[in-house]
Amino acid sequence: TEESYQLQLALAIRLSSEATCADNPNFLGPAADESASRDSDSSASAETMSHRLWINGCLSYFDKVPDGFYWIYGMDPYVWTVCSVLQESGRIPSIESLKAVDPTVAPSVEVILIDRYNDPSLKELQIGILSMSASCISVEEVVDQLAKLVCDHMGGAAPAGEDDLVSMSKERSDDLKDCLGTIVLPIGSLSVGLCRHRALLFKVLADIIDL
């Protein structure tokens, strides 16, 4: 119908505008950008980059993942954009609001959090990669050792492809949600991870050693 078409057109325009904003690292405005330049680990910087990944599905090679960064999976950013009032809710659900979500209410939603100070397993991985990189001779060796570290931490290799790990990863994620009482999971707590989990952990650890 004409009404349906107009609604879809309005949605497409709005989403296009959001994607354009997300391509710009300063899309939260000058104040947020100034804050981020003063402190790369600020909440503004973390939320900015979290939103960019949520919308675009990728980060730049030159992006440094800040502490407090989170990756929302299982919630459509477009639906959030349409349903929220940007001035009140912001461009992405806050980490505080996500932590308050009951896992039984949103079982398909998973939020991976980078918390370098309160995630003991991530702390151990950071110490491990710093020690490991110091003993490596070449960059290629560092990359290889880092890849092995991430693989071992997140369930090992999957000879037949990622499908072998999907059910195990979901089971582990569900167990963690039940234990923690939230859909927000510290990345170090994941003993089984899929490609997206492993890629993020690799990036976080690579940033630590300026790889």
Is pLDDT above 60 for 14? Answer: no
Residue type (1 letter), 5: Y
Which of 7-16, 46-55, 121-130, 135-144 comes out lowest in average pLDDT? 7-16
Domain boundaries, the chain: 2-13+43-209
Q: Give me the numbers of helices (H) and strands (E) for the chain, helices first please.
A: 10, 3
Q: Which residues of 182-210 are buried (b: 16+ CB within 10 A; e: fewer)?
A: bbbbbbbbbebbbeebbebbbbbbbebee
Is pLDDT above 90 for 201? Answer: yes
pLDDT in tens, 35-75: 444 444 455 588 889 988 888 888 888 889 999 999 988 87
Position 35 scores a pLDDT of: 42
Residue 121's CB is within 10 A of a number of other CB atoms, namely: 14
Position 75 scores a pLDDT of: 78
Which run of H or of E encompasses 209? none
Is pLDDT above 80 for 30? Answer: no
Average pLDDT over residues 144-153: 92
Instruction: List 110's β-bridge partners, or say none.
Output: 73
Is pLDDT above 80 for 197? Answer: yes
Position 103 scores a pLDDT of: 86
